[in-house]
Structures are given as structure tokens and as C-alpha cells.
Amino acid sequence: MSIAENVKLVKENIEAAAIRCGRDPADIKLVAATKMNDAFRVREAIAAGVDICGENRVQELQEKLAQGAYDGCPLHFIGHLQKNKVKYIIGKVELIHSVDSVSLAQEINKRAAALGLTQDILLEVNIGAEENKSGFAPEELACALDEMAQFSSIRVLGLMAIPPVCEISENNRVYFRRMKQLFIDIGQKKYDNVIMQLLSMGMSADYEVAVEEGANLVRVGTGIFGARNYALK
């Protein structure tokens, strides 16, 4: 199938999942995970109707920006972000999905303040308590948000998670459900720079289940572009 056909299918699946649980499909945005896809293919996905482009790697983001790959489409950063790379994406992306520590949030705040900007972010939650994954433990979020309340140049718009890899998408429902509850709980508290609007969860293998459990940003790469060939990198 072509990229355009894949995008059409994914959007139809999102719509069906939303309707199954009584949600408005218009409230869910499709983030094309563009890692390892060149500018031409990214532009194909944009033309096919993806809502947002999401890039995982800072260097790749810089290269594609220079090529005009994302023109006409909002750009998010969705991969692991090192503190020494923050300076390269502030002012370039609308949203950073993967803020996994207070120290990273502090660096983003510093860089944004220097540019006179407010950077929107999501907090990454290690919802499966996996040792090999970054992110806040759920029980750490309250303290982290208390610390971030002093950062005037960031705005926390929600949460992001990557649940454990599993062969059956249904098995991730429990993690998505926990994320939605965290999202609700935080939204009921009052923080100066926190507005719980966005819940980023679900990828190619499980985005329909994620939508059913409350995701309003789904990050789909393989489902749009096909399998990545990591042997080429």
C-alpha cells in the first residue's frame, strides 16, 4: 500500500475506534512518526492528511527542516531528548512529548526563556515500570509538577507514554487506562503552568486501543511508512 492509502486506513481506524467509545473523531490527532523517512516521504504523508509530524532524532529534525520536509504541518519532537540537544529544537517544534525528568524541563525552560518563548511539553510516564525505559514513575509526577511550577517558560499540556511491547494490542489497555486516570487526577489539581489537554499514547500496533482509552494524540510510523530498515543506519 502507498503512504496515502496507509494514512487513509489509519484515519479510518481512528474514526471507528472513537465512535466505538462515544468520542468525536475530530478530537484525535494523527502524529506521523517520521523517523528514518526522507523529506519526500514526509511530504507524501502531509499531502495524505496527517495532522502532525513527529520526529525522534534532533539531527534528523534539523536536516529535514532545512529541506522543508515539514512545511505546512505542525512539528512535534517525540523521541528521547538529551539536555545538550535542547537548544537545537526550542522554537522549532510546537510540542515536546518526551520530557522525562525535572532537570530536562529546567533546561527547556532556560532555553525557552532566553528566546522569549513558552515551550509546550508533555511529561513522559514510565507506565510499565520498565528498567530500560525513561520517564517519570506515576508516583513521582506530583512532586515533579510542584518543582516545575517555578518554571515560567514551559507549559505542561499533558502526558505521554510508551507501554511495554506486546504481541496483542489488547494487553496494553490496562496501561492506557492507568494513563487516562493519571491525566484526570492531575487535571483536577491547580498548577500555574499545567493545563491537562493532551494524552499522547498508542503507536502502530495499538493506537486503536489507545483511542478507546482516551488518547488524543497517536504516534504512528510503521503503519504509515512501512517497516523501517534499521540495517541502513
Neighbour-count burial of 27, counting CB atoms closer than 10 A to its CB (0-12 exposed, 13-18 middle, 19+ buried): exposed
Q: What percent of the chain has pLDDT over 70?
A: 98
Measured CA to CA, the distance from residue 96 to residue 10 in angstroms comes to: 23
Interval 164-192 mean pLDDT: 91
Q: Of 13, 36, 37, which Cα lies nearest the Cα of 25?
A: 13
Measured CA to CA, the distance from residue 191 to residue 195 in angstroms comes to: 8
* Residue 45 to residues 7, 76, 147, Cα–Cα distance (Å): 7, 15, 39
Binned at pLDDT 50, 70 and 90, residue 232 comes out as: low
Phi-psi region of 217 (alpha: psi -120 to 50; beta: other; left: phi over 0): beta
DSSP, collapsed to helix, strand or coil, labels residue 149 as: coil
What's the half-sphere exposure (Cβ side, CA atoms, 13 Å) at 156?
Answer: 33
- What are the pLDDT digits (tens) for 25-65? 999 999 999 999 999 999 999 999 999 999 999 999 999 99
Helix (H) or strand (E) holding 55: strand 52-55
Helix (H) or strand (E) holding 197: strand 194-200
Torsion of CA 143, 149, 150, 151, to 10 degrees: 110
Q: Look up residue 165 and give its DSSP letter.
A: P
Measured CA to CA, the distance from residue 76 to residue 86 in angstroms comes to: 13
Pairing outcome for strands 194-200 and 29-33: unpaired
Measured CA to CA, the distance from residue 148 to residue 169 in angstroms comes to: 34
More confident residue, 169 or 50: 50
What is the predicted pLDDT for the residue at 165? 84
Q: For residue 231, what are the contacts with CB-CB under 8 A and spacing of at least 6? A: none
Interval 192-209 mean pLDDT: 95
Binned at pLDDT 50, 70 and 90, residue 231 comes out as: low
